[in-house]
Chain A
Amino acid sequence: MSNVMKTAARGGLQLDRFMPEAAKLHRLSALLTLVILIIGFSLASQSFFSVNNTLTVLLQTSVIGLLGIGMTMVIITGGIDLSVGSVLALSGVVTGMCVKAGLPVIPAMGLGVVAGAACGAVNGLVITRMRIPPFVATLGMMLIARGLALQLTGAAPISQLGAAFGRLGNGALFRVVEMQPNGFPKVIFPGIPYPAILLLVVALGAAYILRCRQIGRHIYATGSNEEAARLSGVRVDMTKLYAYVMSGALAGVAGNVLMSRLVTAQPSEGVMYELDAIAAAVIGGASLSGGVGAVSGTMIGAFIIGILRNGLNMAGVSAFIQQIIIGVVVIGAVWIDQVRNRN
Chain B
Amino acid sequence: MTQTPLVEMIDIEKHFGGVRAVDHVSLSLNPGEVVGVLGHNGAGKSCLMRILAGAMVPSAGEIRVNGKPVHFADPNGARDVGIETIYQTLALADHLDAPKNLFLGRELKTRFGNLDDARMLREAQKVLARLNPNFKNLRDPVSQLSGGQRQVIAIARAIYFDTKILIMDEPTAALGPSETAMVADLIRQLQAEGIGIFLVSHDMHDVFELCDRVVVMNKGHLVGQHAIGEVNKDDVLSLIVKGELPADWCARNLAEAH
Contact = CB atoms under 8 A, between A and B. Distances in A.
Interface of A: 21, 211-214, 216-218, 220-221, 223-225, 227-234, 291-292
Interface residues of B, number: 28
Nearest to A214: B107
B109 interface: yes
Contacts of B91: 225, 227-228, 231-232
A218 B95 CA distance: 12
A212 B91 CA distance: 23
B182 interface: no
A213 B107 CA distance: 10
A229 B104 contact: yes
Contacts of A291: 93-95
B34 to A, nearest CB: 23
B115 interface: yes
A212 B94 CA distance: 19
Nearest to B104: A232
B3 interface: no
B100 A217 contact: yes
B95 A234 contact: no
Main secondary structure of the interface of A (DSSP, over half): helix
A234 B95 CA distance: 15
Which of A218, A223, A231 has the most chain B CB atoms closer than 10 A to its own CB? A231
B213 interface: no
Contacts of A229: 93, 104-105
Contacts, number: 74
A21 B55 CA distance: 34
Contacts of B93: 220-221, 224-225, 228-229, 232, 291
B114 interface: yes
Nearest to B157: A232
A19 to B, nearest CB: 12
A233 B96 contact: no
Given A214-B107, A221-B104, A291-B95, A231 B115 contact: no
9 contacts: A211-B115, A212-B114, A212-B115, A213-B114, A214-B113, A225-B94, A228-B91, A229-B104, A231-B75
B64 to A, nearest CB: 22
A211 B100 CA distance: 12
Contacts of A223: 95
B135 to A, nearest CB: 14
B17 to A, nearest CB: 18
A234 to B, nearest CB: 5
Contacts of B53: 231
A230 B74 CA distance: 8
A221 B101 CA distance: 9
Contacts of A233: 74-76, 79, 104-106
A240 to B, nearest CB: 15
Nearest to B139: A17
A248 B94 CA distance: 28
Interface in B105-152: 105-107, 109, 113-115, 141
Contacts of B90: 228
B55 A231 contact: yes
Contacts of B89: 227-228
7 closest Cβ pairs, A-B complex: A233-B105, A224-B93, A291-B95, A232-B104, A228-B91, A224-B95, A231-B91
